Amino acid sequence: MLKKINLVKNDVSIENLEEDQAGHELEALARVLAEHDQLYYQFDSPMVSDDVYDSLRARYVALETYFPYLIRPDTSSCRIGAPPIESFRKVWHTVPMLSLNSALTEEDVAAFLRRVRQFLGLSRSIPVVVVAEPKIDGVSVSLRYENGVFVQGATRGDGIEGENITENLRTLKEVPLLLDSKMNIPEKLEVRGEVYMTKEEFIKLKGNCREIGNYYKSFSNPRNAASGSLRQFDPRITAARPLHLFAYACGDVDNPPWRTHWEFLERLRGFGFIVNPLVRRCETLEEILEFYESLVTRRNALSYEIDGLVYKIDRVDWQRRLGLMRRAPRWAIAHKFPGEEACTIIESITTSVSRTGRLTPVACLRPVTINGVKISRATLHNEEEIARRDVRVGDTVIIRRAGSVIPQVVSVVAAMRPKDTQPYQGPTFCPICYSLTTRESGGGIRRCTGGLICPAQRTERLKHFVSRNAFNITGLREKHLENLYADGLIRSPADIFSLEEHDHIIPLATRAGWGVRSACKLFKNIRAKRRVCFHRLLYALGIRHVGEATAKTLAAHYRNLTRLRVAMAAAQDRTSEAWHELVNIPMVGLLKSETITAFFAEQHNLDILDELEKLVYVQADDSQGQELLPLFGLKIVFSGQLTTMSREEARSRAVSLGARVTNSVSKKTDYVVLGGNGGAKAKKAVALGVPLIREQTWISLINRDG
Ligand code: IVH
Q: How far is the CA of 288 from the centre of ligand 1 (A)?
A: 18
Here the CATH number for the domain that contains residue 40 is 1.10.287.610
What is the C-alpha to C-alpha distance for residues 425 and 524, in angstroms, rounded to an integer?
Answer: 47
Single residue among 336, 357, 380 that ends a domain in this structure: 336
How are strands ordered across the β-sheet holding 660-661?
A: 660-661, 635-639, 671-674, 692-694
Q: Which residue has a Cα nearest atom 18 of ligand 1?
A: 135
Q: What is the DSSP letter of 471?
A: T
Q: Which residue has a Cα nearest atom 3 of ligand 1?
A: 248
Mean pLDDT of 214-233: 75
**Does residue 263 lie in a domain region?**
yes
Candidate of 194, 223, 268, 404 to mutate for ligand 1, largest count of ligand atoms within 8 Å of Cβ: 194
**Does residue 85 lie in a domain region?**
no
Q: Can you give the pLDDT at residue 205?
A: 76
The region of weakest confidence among 68-72, 529-533, 619-623 is 68-72
Q: Are residues 308 and 350 in the same domain?
A: no
Q: Structural domain of residue 468, as residue ranges? A: 454-529
Question: What is the position in ligand 1's atom list of the atom closest to the CA of 135?
Answer: 12
Question: What is the position in ligand 1's atom list of the atom closest to the CA of 102?
Answer: 7
Q: Can you give the pLDDT at residue 450?
A: 75
What is the C-alpha to C-alpha distance for residues 184 and 341, in angstroms, rounded to an integer?
Answer: 48
Q: Can you give the pLDDT at residue 342?
A: 87
Q: Can you give the pLDDT at residue 579?
A: 92
Q: Can you give the pLDDT at residue 211?
A: 42
Q: Are residues 222 and 267 in the same domain?
A: yes
Does 135 qualify as catalytic in the annotation?
yes
Q: Can you give the pLDDT at residue 251?
A: 94
Extract the runs of DSSP E, i.e. beta strands, from 354-434. Answer: 358-370, 373-379, 396-401, 408-412
Q: Can you give the pLDDT at residue 357?
A: 86
B/e letters for 227-241, b = 16+ CB within 10 Å, e = fewer, are bbbbebebbbbbbbb
Q: How far is the CA of 458 from the centre of ligand 1 (A)?
A: 37
Q: How far is the CA of 137 from the centre of ligand 1 (A)?
A: 9
Q: Are residues 108 and 148 in the same domain?
A: yes
Candidate of 98, 136, 195, 261 to mutate for ligand 1, largest count of ligand atoms within 8 Å of Cβ: 136
Q: What is the DSSP letter of 68?
A: G
Question: What is the position in ligand 1's atom list of the atom closest to the CA of 137?
Answer: 19
Q: Which residue has a Cα nearest atom 10 of ligand 1?
A: 99
Here the CATH number for the domain that contains residue 591 is 1.10.150.20
- Between residues 460 and 291, the one the model is more confident about: 291
Q: Can you give the pLDDT at residue 173?
A: 92
Q: Are residues 204 and 281 in the same domain?
A: yes
430 burial level (CB within 10 Å; 0-12, 13-18, 19+): buried
Q: Can you give the pLDDT at residue 72?
A: 54
Confidence of residue 622 (pLDDT cuts 50, 70, 90): low
Q: Are residues 468 and 549 in the same domain?
A: no
Q: Which residue has a Cα nearest atom 22 of ligand 1?
A: 99
Q: Could you report the per-residue pLDDT of 244-301, keeping only the tens digit for each?
A: 999 999 999 988 999 999 999 999 999 999 999 999 999 999 999 999 999 998 998 9
**Does residue 94 lie in a domain region?**
no
| Top mean-pLDDT range of 158-172, 180-194, 309-323, 533-547 | 309-323
Residues with a CB atom less than 6 Å from ligand 1: 98-100, 133, 135-136, 140, 156, 194, 248-249, 310, 329, 332, 334
Beta-strand pair 102-103/139-146: unpaired
Mean pLDDT of 368-373: 77
Q: Are residues 494 and 468 in the same domain?
A: yes
For the cut 60, the answer to whether the pLDDT of residue 590 exceeds it is yes
What is the C-alpha to C-alpha distance for residues 2 and 37, in angstroms, rounded to an integer?
Answer: 13
**Are the C-beta atoms of residues 666 and 660 closer than 8 Å to each other?**
no
How many residues does this entry show for the chain?
706
Q: Can you give the pLDDT at residue 4?
A: 39
Q: Can you give the pLDDT at residue 184?
A: 84
- Nearest CA-CA partner of 556 in 454, 486, 628: 628
Helix (H, G, I), strand (E, B) or coil at 642: coil
**Does residue 195 lie in a domain region?**
yes
Question: What is the position in ligand 1's atom list of the atom closest to the CA of 334?
Answer: 7
What is the C-alpha to C-alpha distance for residues 698 and 585, in angstroms, rounded to an integer?
Answer: 23
**Does residue 681 lie in a domain region?**
yes
What is the C-alpha to C-alpha distance for residues 487 and 481, in angstroms, rounded to an integer?
Answer: 10
For the cut 50, the answer to whether the pLDDT of residue 706 exceeds it is no
**Are the C-beta atoms of residues 256 and 410 closer than 8 Å to each other?**
no
The region of weakest confidence among 230-244, 331-345, 443-457 is 443-457
Q: How far is the CA of 46 from the centre of ligand 1 (A)?
A: 38
Candidate of 95, 99, 137 to mutate for ligand 1, largest count of ligand atoms within 8 Å of Cβ: 99
Cross-strand bridge partners of residue 312: 131, 332
What does 601-664 look like in DSSP terms, one character per residue? H-HHHHHHHHHHHHHSEEEPPPS-SGGGSTTTT-EEEEES--SSS-HHHHHHHHHHTT-EE-SS
Q: Are residues 196 and 332 in the same domain?
A: yes
Mean pLDDT estimate for the chain: 84
Q: How far is the CA of 178 from the centre of ligand 1 (A)?
A: 24
Q: Which residue has a Cα nearest atom 23 of ligand 1?
A: 99
Q: Are residues 127 and 259 in the same domain?
A: yes
What is the C-alpha to C-alpha distance for residues 76 and 637, in angstroms, rounded to an integer?
Answer: 59
Q: Could you report the per-residue pLDDT of 43-97, keeping only the tens digit for each?
A: 545 677 666 776 777 777 777 766 766 665 545 444 444 444 557 888 888 888 9
Helix (H, G, I), strand (E, B) or coil at 484: helix
Q: Which residue has a Cα nearest atom 2 of ligand 1?
A: 98
Quick one: what percent of the chain has pLDDT higher than 70?
A: 86
What is the C-alpha to C-alpha distance for residues 563 and 33, in angstroms, rounded to an integer?
Answer: 56
For the cut 90, the answer to whether the pLDDT of residue 566 exceeds it is yes
Q: Are residues 152 and 299 in the same domain?
A: yes
Here the CATH number for the domain that contains residue 195 is 3.30.470.30
What is the C-alpha to C-alpha distance for residues 70 and 22, in angstroms, rounded to an integer?
Answer: 8
Q: How far is the CA of 267 from the centre of ligand 1 (A)?
A: 19
Confidence of residue 677 (pLDDT cuts 50, 70, 90): confident
The region of weakest confidence among 84-88, 551-555, 673-677, 679-683 is 84-88
Q: How far is the CA of 225 from the centre of ligand 1 (A)?
A: 18
**Are the C-beta atoms of residues 454 and 433 closer than 8 Å to each other?**
yes
Q: Can you give the pLDDT at residue 490?
A: 86
Q: Are residues 284 and 329 in the same domain?
A: yes
Confidence of residue 1 (pLDDT cuts 50, 70, 90): very low
Q: Can you give the pLDDT at residue 54?
A: 66
- Nearest CA-CA partner of 308 in 332, 274, 282: 332
**Are the C-beta atoms of residues 597 and 632 closer than 8 Å to each other?**
no
What is the C-alpha to C-alpha distance for residues 493 and 470, in angstroms, rounded to an integer?
Answer: 12
Q: Are residues 129 and 248 in the same domain?
A: yes
Q: Could you report the per-residue pLDDT of 638-671, keeping only the tens digit for each?
A: 888 888 888 888 887 887 777 888 888 888 898 8
**Does residue 92 lie in a domain region?**
no
Query: Which phi-psi region, left, alpha or beta, contains residue 590 (left: φ > 0; alpha: ψ -120 to 50)?
Result: alpha
The one-letter code for the residue type at 5 is: I
- Between residues 99 and 633, the one the model is more confident about: 99
Candidate of 131, 248, 250 to mutate for ligand 1, largest count of ligand atoms within 8 Å of Cβ: 248
Counting Cα atoms < 13 Å in the Cβ hemisphere of 508 gives 17
Q: Are residues 460 and 442 in the same domain?
A: no
**Are the C-beta atoms of residues 480 and 511 closer than 8 Å to each other?**
no
Q: Which residue has a Cα nearest atom 12 of ligand 1?
A: 135
**Does residue 141 lie in a domain region?**
yes
For the cut 70, the answer to whether the pLDDT of residue 607 exceeds it is yes
- Residue 606: alpha-carbon gap to chain centroid: 31
What is the C-alpha to C-alpha distance for residues 457 and 664, in angstroms, rounded to an integer?
Answer: 43
What is the C-alpha to C-alpha distance for residues 704 and 598, in angstroms, rounded to an integer?
Answer: 42
Q: How far is the CA of 246 from the centre of ligand 1 (A)?
A: 11
Q: Can you give the pLDDT at residue 44?
A: 47
**Are the C-beta atoms of residues 161 and 552 closer than 8 Å to each other?**
yes
- Alpha helices (H) in 74-149, listed in sequence order: 76-80, 106-120
Q: Can you give the pLDDT at residue 596?
A: 92
Q: Which residue has a Cα nearest atom 17 of ligand 1?
A: 135
Cross-strand bridge partners of residue 355: none
Q: How far is the CA of 133 from the centre of ligand 1 (A)?
A: 9
What is the C-alpha to C-alpha distance for residues 657 and 631, in angstroms, rounded to an integer?
Answer: 5
Single residue among 448, 470, 495 that ends a domain in this structure: 448
Q: Could you report the per-residue pLDDT of 425-448, keeping only the tens digit for each?
A: 999 999 988 888 888 666 678 988
Candidate of 98, 158, 310, 325 to mutate for ligand 1, largest count of ligand atoms within 8 Å of Cβ: 310
Q: Could you report the per-residue pLDDT of 470-513, keeping only the tens digit for each?
A: 999 988 888 888 888 877 888 889 999 988 877 666 666 665 66
For the cut 80, the answer to whether the pLDDT of residue 359 exceeds it is yes
Number of folded domains that form the chain: 6
Q: How far is the CA of 310 from the centre of ligand 1 (A)?
A: 7
- Alpha helices (H) in 314-427, listed in sequence order: 316-322, 383-389
| Top mean-pLDDT range of 154-163, 222-231, 342-351, 394-403 | 342-351
What is the C-alpha to C-alpha distance for residues 135 and 194, in angstroms, rounded to an integer?
Answer: 9
**Does residue 91 lie in a domain region?**
no
Question: What is the position in ligand 1's atom list of the atom closest to the CA of 312?
Answer: 1
Instruction: Return the number of other C-beta atoms located less than 10 Å from residue 572's C-beta.
Output: 13
Q: What is the DSSP letter of 431?
A: T
Question: 90, 135, 419, 529: which is the annotated catalytic residue?
Answer: 135
Q: Can you give the pLDDT at residue 264?
A: 97
Q: Can you give the pLDDT at residue 31?
A: 74
- Between residues 318 and 8, the one the model is more confident about: 318
For the cut 90, the answer to whether the pLDDT of residue 316 exceeds it is yes
Name the phi and psi angles at 636, rounded to 5.
-125, 145
The one-letter code for the residue type at 452 is: L
- CA distance from start to end of the chain: 57
What is the C-alpha to C-alpha distance for residues 475 and 464, in angstroms, rounded to an integer?
Answer: 14
Q: Which residue has a Cα nearest atom 9 of ligand 1?
A: 135
Single residue among 529, 562, 594 that ends a domain in this structure: 529
Q: Can you give the pLDDT at residue 216?
A: 41
